[in-house]
């Protein structure tokens, strides 16, 4: 037993890292037999304060928190950064242990895709694909939904948490859980940002010093457009068009800037009151995404 007098003991529970499916299932079975509830935090590793906030959030919901670390080949297209995606397992273990996470599930690609990543079964939330990130990354959301289905089937958690930073992804997972009768409470967690407003992302480590100066503009632009809408701007399509130009003039290569409804992700008009503004833009080879959510009938948010 750890001494409760020593405030520095953060690893008294000896967090374990598990790499195979049979082992994690046995561990979960034993925890379940003790009456514990299970929470899953899916990640691709290279953890930052945004990921750690998900662990903290999950501790409010579940007795046992399992963080998965898996760079999922299926959600990258051939021209993307799968091979160079930062892998920092040791640092991730230290951060998770300090955060009070209970288990890491860090499988190999062969464990998850024994027949290779040309998976014969794919999970696609068709109604939410083909827009936003689904348009420029056509296989991405199917790759995400497929691997999350596998993780849900392996861990069978009571709760799973996803960041609002990847808002479309969160909506895809929520819809998938409903449509496929997965008995899992899918939770959305607030976006964690740097002081300058830049949403934390593992990919921010790709940015040069010069690009780091430009990157926070993305969030400033989102907030500027939000304020314009709250101040009565009605022509959303014109606003989108002009803002795409501003993003380009700021030094980004814009992918999309779209004002959509918060719950259904439909193109929004002035008749809609719960809105999400989405942006994706690249700085050099680094693709950044961000969003802001608000209600037009709550002037104070």
Active site residue ranges: 51
Helices (H), ranges, the chain: 21-33, 49-59, 89-98, 109-112, 133-136, 140-155, 167-179, 209-214, 217-230, 236-249
How many angstroms separate the CA atoms of 36 and 29, rounded?
10
Of the candidates 156, 54, 148, the one whose C-alpha atom is nearest the C-alpha of residue 101 is 54
43 binds ligand AMP (CB under 6 A): yes
260 binds ligand AMP (CB under 6 A): no
CB neighbours of residue 223 within 10 Å: 14
166 binds ligand AMP (CB under 6 A): yes
How many angstroms separate the CA atoms of 115 and 123, rounded?
17
168 neighbors 133 (Cβ within 8 angstroms): yes
Number of shown-chain residues binding ligand AMP (CB under 6 A): 17
Single residue of 24, 28, 40, 50 touching ligand AMP by CB under 6 A: 50
Return the number of the residue (56 or 239) whose C-beta is nearest ligand AMP: 56
Q: To the nearest whole angstrom, how small is the minimum distance from the Cβ of residue 8 to ligand AMP?
A: 28
Return the number of the residue (131 or 164) whose C-beta is nearest ligand AMP: 164
How many angstroms separate the CA atoms of 91 and 288, rounded?
23
Q: To the nearest whole angstrom, how small is the minimum distance from the Cβ of residue 98 to ligand AMP?
A: 17
Return the number of the residue (244 or 288) whose C-beta is nearest ligand AMP: 288
Single residue of 73, 107, 143, 163 touching ligand AMP by CB under 6 A: 163
Return the number of the residue (192 or 279) whose C-beta is nearest ligand AMP: 192
Q: To the nearest whole angstrom, how small is the minimum distance from the Cβ of residue 269 to ligand AMP?
A: 28
Single residue of 15, 52, 54, 64 touching ligand AMP by CB under 6 A: 54
277, containing H or E segment: strand 274-283
Return the number of the residue (142 or 201) whose C-beta is nearest ligand AMP: 201
214, containing H or E segment: helix 209-214
Find the binding residues for ligand AMP in span 176-205 (CB under 6 A). 189, 191-192, 199-202
Write the Ramachandran bin of 296: left for phi over 0, alpha for psi from -120 to 50, otherwise beta: alpha
141 neighbors 168 (Cβ within 8 angstroms): yes
Identify which range of 47-55, 119-127, 206-214, 280-288 contacts ligand AMP by CB under 6 A.
47-55
68, containing H or E segment: strand 64-69
108 neighbors 71 (Cβ within 8 angstroms): no
Q: To the nearest whole angstrom, how small is the minimum distance from the Cβ of residue 173 to ligand AMP?
A: 9
Q: To the nearest whole angstrom, how small is the minimum distance from the Cβ of residue 284 to ligand AMP?
A: 19
Q: Which residue is nearest to ligand AMP (CB)?
A: 163
Find the binding residues for ligand AMP in span 133-162 (CB under 6 A). 162
CB neighbours of residue 89 within 10 Å: 14
Counting runs of H as helices and runs of E as strands, what totals does the chain give? Answer: 10, 9
Return the number of the residue (75 or 211) whose C-beta is nearest ligand AMP: 75
Tokens representing 59?
A: 């501790």
Interface residues toward ligand AMP, by CB under 6 A: 43-44, 50-51, 53-54, 162-163, 165-166, 189, 191-192, 199-202
């Amino acid at each position: 037993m750890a001494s409760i007098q020593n405030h520095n003991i953060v690893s008294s529970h000896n967090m374990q890292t598990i790499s195979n499916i049979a082992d994690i299932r046995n561990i979960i079975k034993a925890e379940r037999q003790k009456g514990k509830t299970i929470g899953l935090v899916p990640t691709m590793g290279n953890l930052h304060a945004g990921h750690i906030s998900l662990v903290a959030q999950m501790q409010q919901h579940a007795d046992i928190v399992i963080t998965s670390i898996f760079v999922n080949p299926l959600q990258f297209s051939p021209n993307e950064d799968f091979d160079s995606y930062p892998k920092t397992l040791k640092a991730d273990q230290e951060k998770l242990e300090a955060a009070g996470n209970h288990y890491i599930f860090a499988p190999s690609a062969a464990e998850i895709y024994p027949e290779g990543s040309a998976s014969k079964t794919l999970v696609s939330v068709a109604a939410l694909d083909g827009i936003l990130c689904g348009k420029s990354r056509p296989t991405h959301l199917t790759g995400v939904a497929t691997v999350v289905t596998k993780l849900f089937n392996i861990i069978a958690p009571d709760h799973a948490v996803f960041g609002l930073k990847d808002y479309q992804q969160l909506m895809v997972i929520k819809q998938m859980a409903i449509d496929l009768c997965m008995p899992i409470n899918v939770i959305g967690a607030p976006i964690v940002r740097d002081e300058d407003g830049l949403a934390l992302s593992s990919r921010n480590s790709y940015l040069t010093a010069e690009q780091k100066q430009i990157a926070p503009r993305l969030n400033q632009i989102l907030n500027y457009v939000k304020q314009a809408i709250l101040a009565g701007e009605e022509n959303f399509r014109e606003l989108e068009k002009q803002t795409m130009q501003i993003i380009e003039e700021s030094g980004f290569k814009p992918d999309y800037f779209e004002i959509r409804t918060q719950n259904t992700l439909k193109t929004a008009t002035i008749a809609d009151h719960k809105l999400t503004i989405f942006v994706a833009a690249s700085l050099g080879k680094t693709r950044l995404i961000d969003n802001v959510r608000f209600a037009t009938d709550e002037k104070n948010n």
